Amino acid sequence: MNKGQSLLEVVFAIVLVGLVLTGVVSLIVKSSASQTKSMVRDKAVALAKEIVERKVAESKNNPVDFWAKTDVEDQTETGYDGYTYDISHQDSTGGDACFTTNRCVEMVVTVNWQEETSQSVEFRRFFSR
């Protein structure tokens, strides 16, 4: 009877375990990178929602300033390092509520950030007087 393992069997087992571990480590790294990208995007969405909520409040509490429809570019916000945002307004004349000029507007909030490439998320909100 053959007692113990031959050198060839030991080498084969080590190579097999190494291949399995390489695959597992690769999956963990990819999963971590995907989770990081998701968290970065979630933070951009949170910033966009915060800006939209602020503009909704402004449309109700300070309509004169809101309906001045001031566009902004490359603004930053405390707590959102690495993110910038733009706000643009587009007059809308479609629909029954918007039959005259300057009664309806679509506000577009675009949040930008840099990863490997430039990324952005865009929110649109319709307002009528």
pTM exceeds 0.75, yes or no? no
Q: In this predicted structure, what is the pLDDT of residue 100?
A: 63
Q: Where are the domains of the chain?
A: 7-128
Which pLDDT value is given to residue 57? 94
Q: What is the pLDDT of residues 52-71, one digit of tens each?
A: 999 999 999 999 988 888 89
The three-class DSSP label of residue 104 is strand
Burial 119-128 (b: 16+ CB within 10 A, else e): eebebebebe
Give me the chain's average pLDDT, please. Answer: 87
| pLDDT tens digits, 29-47 | 888 878 878 898 999 999 9
Give start and end residues of each alpha helix (H) in 2-116.
7-61, 63-66
| pLDDT above 70 for 3 | no
**Per-residue confidence band for 101, with pLDDT thresholds at 50, 70 and 90:** low
pLDDT, position 6: 86
Per-residue pLDDT band at 18 (split at 50, 70, 90): very high
pLDDT score for 50: 95
Integer Cα distance of 122 and 107 in angstroms? 10
